[in-house]
Amino acid sequence: MVYTNEKPLLAVISQGCAANFGDGEKIARIFANDYRVIFGMPKETAGSDVAEKPAAFVLNVCTVKGNAGALKLLREAMSTAPEARLFITGCAPKDFREEVAKITDKAVFTSLKELLQQGKEIPASPFRGPYPLSSKAASGYWQGGDDKTNPKELFASDCHAPHGARNDAPLRESSLVGIVNIEEGCLDACAYCSTRLVKGRLHSYPAADIVQQVKSLVADGCVEIQLTGQDCGCYGFDTNTNLAELVEQILAEVPGNYKMRLGMGNPRHMLRYTDALLKCFEDERVYKFIHLPVQSGSEAILKAMNRRHSAQDYVDLAEAFCSRFPLFTLSTDLIVGFPGETERDFQDTLDILGKTRPTVCNITRFVARPNTPAFNMQGAVPDSIKHERSAALAEAFQKIATENNARWVGTTETVVVEKPGYRKGSYIARNAAYRPVAITSETPLIPGERFTVTITSAEPFALIGRKQ
């Protein structure tokens, strides 16, 4: 590998949830002084048919649905730049690390906590070359559960400077979207979940620091603020507050023309402050969108999953939001094929889908994760049946989503351009309920631009709009 006097290229690639992408942005800021940081795989630049090869990759992986996606990303990075240093962070449980070791001995496992901690002491530089190594991270050290860094201190180190960076560029995946991690970990022990093995128990970040970060992001031009974490629903339960109180504080202390999207919250936690949370959604700066993962409509399966909420808890919450706010966007998650799931259990899941009618639904076929209670459970559901059930659930959901989206047809909406679409001259915007609106324009549209559209038609996953 040939080095020049120019700063080396570092590619940060995140997978999975918004919380993981928020961590990826923090990682990028750690190296902003010493590296040219990009998000995602390098692409060809103007005047060149060849993409520059990174000197190092930070792969911020997600394994919640199994290891395949993360391993594919690793192989792609190795193929793209065979000599590059490889650093892996994110949700990387023991079984994933063992699989990586079979593929390469070059990968170094680290964490956001460790990288921040090392960055305080020496210039953090994750590759062998003319720049120094980040001691423990680069030597292959894996912290496991031994890291004593206070997560509250880590959050503060990122948010007290404008957009957490040490240079002038807004180092984010999108210059218009500010991802704010408000907590890490959870208060649950779901039988199928490997994320908790990595993230641990709930640590809520101080509200004052969160408010300060939101202020900085809005001042920096962000039109969308995403509050995120492993389970935003239990935010503040360890510090004598809750998500509704945090949102109220942000709305009171951060003026501006922005909208806030609240992250996933488990139903049993949000039941503790439902009325206060509903009141927050009356503010036009809060997207009329909520993510309540139910996972199953069967009480027996919920118990086996150790979900600690009932199907009725989810139904009650869904009805509270959807009856209070017309055209509200309800999002949920459903798992099919959990050990012991019978046809009756699956029918209960179909029934709860039909009863609550979510507009967004993440459907997952159960994958047994090593070192979780579900890994050794009896009553495994054959893969063929998992595929049949997921297909039936997807078909039912898409019909519901199309009908939900059709309610928007004929309405006039103010939208914000998010990004160009896949087709030439097309763009994706967001309306007040966080629904994607596809627009065609003969003149270029600028991300962040606001204008009025009329919704002309609807598809399962998007609205179709005509610019006024």
Report pLDDT digits (tens) over 365-389. 999 999 899 999 999 999 999 999 9
Report pLDDT digits (tens) over 6-35. 789 999 999 988 888 988 998 998 888 888
What pLDDT is recorded for position 147?
Answer: 42
pLDDT band at residue 93 using 50, 70 and 90 as cut-offs: confident
Q: What is the mean pLDDT of the chain?
A: 87
What pLDDT is recorded for position 115?
Answer: 78
What pLDDT is recorded for position 43?
Answer: 82
Residue type, 242: N
Report pLDDT digits (tens) over 265-320. 999 999 999 999 999 999 999 999 999 999 999 999 999 999 999 999 999 999 99
pLDDT reading at 223 higher than 90: yes
Question: What are the residue ranges spanned by the domains of the chain?
Answer: 9-149, 153-405, 412-467
What pLDDT is recorded for position 423?
Answer: 85
Average pLDDT rounded to a whole number, residues 26-53: 81
What pLDDT is recorded for position 170?
Answer: 65
pLDDT band at residue 118 using 50, 70 and 90 as cut-offs: low
Q: Strands, E, within 66-193: which ranges?
A: 85-90, 107-109, 177-181, 183-184
Average pLDDT rounded to a whole number, residues 102-111: 90
Question: Is 282 exposed, middle or buried (CB count within 10 Å of its CB: 0-12, 13-18, 19+)?
Answer: exposed
Report pLDDT digits (tens) over 427-453. 999 999 999 999 999 899 999 999 999
Residue type, 218: V
pTM of the model: 0.84
pLDDT reading at 216 higher than 50: yes
Q: What angle do CA 123, 126, 132 make, to 5 degrees?
A: 50
> Is the domain covering 412-467 a CATH 2.40.110.10 domain?
no
What pLDDT is recorded for position 138?
Answer: 33
pLDDT band at residue 48 using 50, 70 and 90 as cut-offs: low
DSSP string across 288-322? SEEE---B-S-HHHHHHHT--S-HHHHHHHHHHHH
What pLDDT is recorded for position 163?
Answer: 34
Is the distance from CB of 233 to CB of 269 less than 8 angstroms? yes
Find the helix or strand (DSSP H, E) in which 214 lies: helix 207-219
Average pLDDT rounded to a whole number, residues 411-438: 94
Helices (H), 36-149: 68-80, 94-103, 112-119, 135-138
Report pLDDT digits (tens) over 138-157. 333 223 333 444 544 444 44
* % of the chain with per-residue pLDDT over 90: 72
What pLDDT is recorded for position 265?
Answer: 97
pLDDT band at residue 49 using 50, 70 and 90 as cut-offs: low
Sign of CA dihedral 315, 317, 318, 323: positive
Domain 9-149, what fold? Rossmann fold (3.40.50)
| Torsion region of 92: left, alpha or beta (phi above 0 gives left; psi -120 to 50 gives alpha) | beta
Choice among 183-197, 253-267, 327-341 with the minimum mean pLDDT: 183-197
pLDDT reading at 78 higher than 60: yes
pLDDT band at residue 119 using 50, 70 and 90 as cut-offs: low
pLDDT reading at 203 higher than 90: yes
> Is the domain covering 153-405 a CATH 3.40.50.300 domain?
no
